[in-house]
Amino acid sequence: MDRSLLNLFGSVLGLTALGFVWSGGGSSAIPPKSEGDWRLLDPISYENLTIFPVVSTGGYDTSNFLTLEEGLSSGEVIVRELGAETLIRNRDSNRQYLPGPGGASVNQLVLLNRSKRPLLLLSGELVSGGKQDRIIAKDRLVAPGSDPLPLNVFCVEHGRWSAGTQFNAANTIVHPSVREQAADKKSQSAVWEAVAVGSMAAATPRPAAGSGSAGTAGSSTTPRVSQSELSAAIREEAPTESYAKIYASRRVGASVDVLVEEIQRRFRKETSGLKGERVVGVVVAYGGEVAWSDIFASGDLFNAYWNKLVRSYAIEAVARPRLREVASHDDAREFLQPLKGREQTESEPGVYRWREISAGPISQIELDSLEPKVITIHRLVLRRSS
């Protein structure tokens, strides 16, 4: 085996070998997308969940990007535990195994992109198998044909650390409270807590506008799925606290399905008549509070993730109070405005740049592809819940 490959893999934990640059501040060299490039449609509401579709007449050609689900399903992407042997098949179809140093790690895996396309990873995407299920820690791109590289992850299966199947795509993005703890707080213990409790949002709802009491007439502050029901689901159907098993359990899954089916039906009705525009993202509100948004560089990318995203929003909704307030169009529009505040960036030259801007309770996280031209692939804005 080529000794240089072994040496590279032996230093897999050294991010500097991969050309990463981290900055704690400074201004962005890439102009942010303005609200004028997007338009908000009327809100789609059911119970305490409101979705504002974001449409655009523009968009980029993103057909060259490979999703994690596609890559794992086709075998073009390999994910392994740190320390496990990683199989590489070169252009001559010869097999090579690169043994990894040390033992497995809760918060790091090894990834290999053997495809000819850049691989897109989104924070919160779940990979199942290995010693425990994990989620991607942050948005990033992986260059085509790259060497094995370290992949930062968070565990979402607290009670298992044992050999399992090879890692597979779970067709799942975890709900916003869990994504927030991974993408913004970057805390493993907070991720575990969010998995177990459902929503990290404050239990006490905000007062309705113009009233002195919480909620509106006829609204309910009781979540569809209570904390006791979540605990029972873990005890009876997900003893390892597996995210996938908790939120597909009999006690929880049926409530999630109801919201997903109704929101999807209303979403299709609202967006079916678009002419010259495509849906590229959504702004999400719970009760009267705008809390989240996911916007992509194209309608095709949005469509690739939409089914997983809407289920994640519904999971968050069933664990929050069932307030019937509906967030205003103006509040939702604020999530389209470029944020100004403290900025941190991370980049791999010629591949991608990730940046986070924080101002008060709001964080804006953007992933830019740098080649062949600079485009913002994914834009996430969140209101911190804790």
Which tens digits make up the pLDDT trace of 54-71? 999 988 999 999 999 999
Compare 23 and 44 and report the one with higher pLDDT: 44
Name the residue among 62, 30, 50, 69 with its Cα closest to residue 293. 50
Compare 88 and 261 and report the one with higher pLDDT: 261
pLDDT in tens, 167-209: 888 889 999 999 999 988 889 999 999 999 999 985 434 344 3
What does pTM read for this prediction? 0.85
pLDDT in tens, 353-373: 999 999 999 999 999 999 989
Query: Is pLDDT at 32 greater than 60 in this prediction?
Result: no
**What is the model's pLDDT at position 23?**
42
Query: Is pLDDT at 218 greater than 80 in this prediction?
Result: no
Query: Is pLDDT at 17 greater than 80 in this prediction?
Result: no
**What is the model's pLDDT at position 220?**
62
Please state the length of the chain: 386
Structure tokens at 181: 């703890």
Position 37 confidence tier, pLDDT thresholds 50, 70, 90: confident
pLDDT in tens, 121-176: 999 999 999 999 999 999 999 999 878 989 999 999 999 988 777 888 888 999 99
Query: Is pLDDT at 100 greater than 80 in this prediction?
Result: no
pLDDT in tens, 269-323: 999 989 999 999 999 999 999 999 999 999 999 999 999 999 999 999 999 988 8
Structure tokens at 285: 């509100």
Query: Is pLDDT at 217 greater than 70 in this prediction?
Result: no
Strand-pair partners of 52: 283
Strand-pair partners of 379: 295, 366
Query: Is pLDDT at 344 greater than 70 in this prediction?
Result: yes
Position 96 confidence tier, pLDDT thresholds 50, 70, 90: very low
Query: Is pLDDT at 109 greater than 70 in this prediction?
Result: yes
- Taking residues 241-247, report their average pLDDT: 95
State the average pLDDT for the chain: 84
